[in-house]
């Protein structure tokens, strides 16, 4: 069993004011979300979502999933979960993620594990219902530059090719070279052989990036019943047509989200801004904005255009060609799924909270928003180093400069902290300020200038003394910096940089069970896992 400890998200220094206030349930953010992610909130969400899901919608969803899984070897648990979606007492817990090459950074795993673990926890709390974990693949995304690489042992492994249209439809041209580059960095251990096989079977033996990502996620998580959904589906989009029509001809999302932004931006940073039409036109090699100009619907950067009647005909004939952007994608998800909760990172949830008024306007229940689990993975060797350096879990998250200074100050035989002297200066100058106020107030400026000069002198002395002590304790400084650079690559969270394969090399098939055991989705804190 792995040793775990936690630290409040907002004490790590890596989470926004928006997320910190949301987690604290502050009044300033209360109007921008529905039920809060706790057991009472889920009880209320079950009641509201039960009333909004139609049997026809469930049939379409299950038929689409069976079609999408037609080439995938499916576990019994996943098959049962798909079939259970026909039942009115079955609900989903959903996370979404881009189709990053070989899963991209570690938090891909954390998102999905959060979703699986929450589904299992809710089953215990509400045994009369079923809860299905869903991974929504962002197949229609077109930001290829964000997904075309993964990091492995400090090296960026990149899929070099051009791209247009939705990334899910990309053919695997050039991935053989990527496989060879990755393979050459691996040794001949059993876990290396498993990684080679996983990459090859996912990315070389599938027809496009959507199928490759489904294969990868299914291999990693099918044992836990994960259901993988591709929204780039004509039948699913046909269900969404009424909302697409409203978007094209009434601009509802633009109106409602703009109102929300006006209120939200008084206290928080805005994550995304709506367009007048929040839809793309999508084909195999094209994903461009739909723009309304001069009474004509135009496809940006092309010669394609439609009258209103022509666009309606195109919509009914080819619903799959209408792709929701970041503003409309959440609504599409909630319309086609019997969903209770969306699990995402801080940036994702920050744009979801811009959407509640829009959901209310179109009368679709707004899901519970849950900040995904975040984790820092520490090896046994690193754990011993931390213990020797006497660094606490909280101190690991300090800026490197502050961490080094703190540890040098603790270890030094010389007094480096001049706080006591600063207090004495403050005390002396308060008396002088009192004298100045009783005599000549113009004297106060000279008093303040002298106080500032003396405090600045103390600061300079403290810095010089600290610098000298760093030279004396040079080995300690190097060890602290090296350790923190390992745990926080590029001075950022490990989960945003490192690929799971680095840890799979060490822990193999036990990696995901270890993570699953350690991560608690409703705990609401950052988890440090000593593997």
pLDDT tens, position by position, 342-399: 999 999 999 999 999 999 999 999 999 999 999 999 999 999 999 999 999 999 999 9
What confidence tier does 142 reach under pLDDT thresholds 50, 70, 90?
A: very high
Dihedral (CA of 484, 489, 495, 500) sign: negative
| Region of poorest pLDDT, from 164-178, 359-373, 437-451 | 437-451
198: nearest Cα among 500, 478, 510: 500
How is the chain split into domains, by residue range?
A: 3-239+327-374+510-524, 381-492
Position 407 scores a pLDDT of 87
What confidence tier does 419 reach under pLDDT thresholds 50, 70, 90?
A: low
Phi, psi of 100, deg, nearest 5: -60, 140
Position 429 scores a pLDDT of 72
How far apart (Å, rounded) are the C-alpha atoms in residues 469 and 81? 61
Residues in the chain: 531
What confidence tier does 42 reach under pLDDT thresholds 50, 70, 90?
A: very high
Of residues 451 and 357, which shows the higher confidence score?
357
Of residues 416 and 485, which shows the higher confidence score?
485
Question: Measured in whole angstroms, how far is the alpha carbon of residue 161 from the centre of its chain?
Answer: 26
Position 450 scores a pLDDT of 76
- Do the beta carbons of residue 366 and residue 360 sit within 8 Å? yes
Predicted confidence (pLDDT) per residue in 193-205, tens digit: 999 999 999 999 9
Ramachandran bin of 195, using left for φ above 0, alpha for ψ from -120 to 50, beta for the remaining angles? alpha
For 394, residues 6+ apart whose C-beta sits below 8 A from its C-beta are 7, 11
Q: Residues 470-494, buried b or exposed e (16+ Cβ, 10 A)?
A: eeebeebbeebeebbeebbeeeebb
- Do the beta carbons of residue 226 and residue 136 sit within 8 Å? no
The burial class, CB within 10 Å (0-12 / 13-18 / 19+), for 414 is exposed
Position 463 scores a pLDDT of 66
Mean pLDDT of the chain: 93
Position 475 scores a pLDDT of 85
How far apart (Å, rounded) are the C-alpha atoms in residues 394 and 383? 14
Question: Measured in whole angstroms, how far is the alpha carbon of residue 381 from the centre of its chain?
Answer: 28
Terminal alpha carbon distance of the chain: 8
Position 411 scores a pLDDT of 78
Predicted confidence (pLDDT) per residue in 247-267, tens digit: 999 999 999 999 999 999 999
Position 445 scores a pLDDT of 72
Predicted confidence (pLDDT) per residue in 483-496, tens digit: 999 999 999 999 99
The burial class, CB within 10 Å (0-12 / 13-18 / 19+), for 138 is buried
* Helix orientation angle between 443-472 and 419-438, rounded to the nearest 10 degrees: 170
Place of tokens 């619903």: 319
Alpha-helix residue ranges (DSSP H) falling in 392-522: 393-396, 400-411, 419-438, 443-472, 474-487, 500-507, 511-518
| Region of poorest pLDDT, from 37-46, 48-57, 188-197, 271-280 | 48-57
The burial class, CB within 10 Å (0-12 / 13-18 / 19+), for 363 is exposed
* 203 DSSP 8-state letter: I
Position 471 scores a pLDDT of 64
Q: Is the pLDDT of residue 284 over 60?
A: yes
* 188 DSSP 8-state letter: S
Position 430 scores a pLDDT of 74
How far apart (Å, rounded) are the C-alpha atoms in residues 279 and 281? 7
Q: Is the pLDDT of residue 462 over 70?
A: no
Mean pLDDT of 107-115: 98
Strand 286-293 relative to strand 279-283, pairing: antiparallel
The three-state secondary structure class of 351 is helix
Mean pLDDT of 405-425: 70
């Amino acid at each position: 069993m792995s040793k775990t400890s936690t630290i409040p998200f907002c004490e790590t220094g890596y989470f926004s004011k928006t997320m910190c206030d949301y987690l604290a349930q502050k009044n300033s953010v209360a109007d921008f979300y529905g039920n809060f992610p706790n057991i009472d909130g889920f009880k209320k969400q079950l009641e509201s979502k039960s009333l909004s899901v139609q049997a026809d919608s469930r049939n379409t969803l299950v038929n689409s999933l069976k079609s999408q899984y037609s080439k995938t070897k499916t576990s019994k648990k996943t098959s049962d979960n798909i079939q259970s979606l026909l039942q009115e007492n079955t609900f989903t817990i959903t996370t979404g993620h881009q189709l990053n090459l070989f899963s991209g950074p570690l938090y891909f795993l954390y998102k999905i594990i959060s979703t699986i673990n929450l589904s299992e926890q809710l089953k215990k709390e509400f045994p009369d219902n079923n809860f299905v974990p869903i991974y929504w693949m962002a197949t229609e995304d077109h930001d290829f530059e964000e997904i075309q690489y993964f990091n492995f042992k400090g090296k960026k492994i990149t899929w070099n090719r051009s791209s247009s249209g939705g990334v899910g439809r990309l053919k695997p041209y050039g991935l053989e070279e990527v496989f060879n580059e990755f393979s050459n960095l691996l040794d001949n251990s059993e876990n290396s052989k498993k990684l080679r096989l996983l990459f090859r079977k996912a990315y070389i033996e599938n027809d496009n990036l959507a199928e490759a990502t489904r294969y990868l996620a299914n291999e990693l998580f099918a044992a836990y019943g994960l259901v993988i959904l591709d929204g780039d589906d004509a039948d699913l989009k046909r269900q969404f047509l009424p909302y697409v029509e409203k978007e094209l001809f009434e601009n509802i999302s633009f109106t409602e989200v703009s109102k929300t932004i006006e209120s939200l931006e008084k206290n928080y940073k805005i994550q995304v801004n709506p367009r007048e039409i929040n839809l793309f036109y999508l084909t195999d090699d094209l994903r461009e904005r739909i723009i309304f100009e001069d009474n004509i619907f135009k496809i940006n950067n092309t010669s394609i255009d439609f009258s209103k009647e022509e666009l309606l005909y195109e919509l009914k004939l080819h619903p799959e060609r209408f792709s929701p952007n970041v503003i409309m994608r959440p609504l599409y998800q909630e319309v086609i799924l019997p969903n209770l909760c969306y699990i995402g990172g801080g940036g994702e949830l920050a744009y979801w909270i811009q959407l509640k008024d829009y959901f209310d306007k179109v009368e679709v229940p707004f899901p519970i928003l849950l900040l995904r689990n975040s984790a820092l993975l520490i090896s046994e060797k690193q754990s011993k180093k931390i213990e020797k350096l006497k660094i606490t879990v909280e101190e690991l998250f300090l800026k490197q400069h502050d961490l080094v200074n703190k540890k040098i100050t603790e270890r030094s035989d010389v007094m480096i902290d001049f706080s006591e002297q600063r207090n004495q200066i403050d005390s002396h100058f308060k008396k002088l300020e009192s004298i100045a106020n009783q005599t000549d107030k113009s004297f106060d400026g000279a008093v303040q200038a002298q106080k500032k000069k003396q405090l600045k002198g103390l600061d300079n002395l403290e810095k010089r003394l600290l610098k000298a002590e760093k030279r004396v304790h040079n080995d300690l400084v190097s060890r602290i910096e090296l350790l923190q650079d390992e745990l926080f690559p590029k001075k950022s969270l490990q989960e945003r940089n490192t690929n799971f394969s680095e840890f799979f090399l060490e822990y193999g098939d036990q990696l995901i069970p270890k993570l699953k055991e350690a991560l608690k989705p409703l705990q609401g804190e950052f988890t440090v896992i000593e593997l």
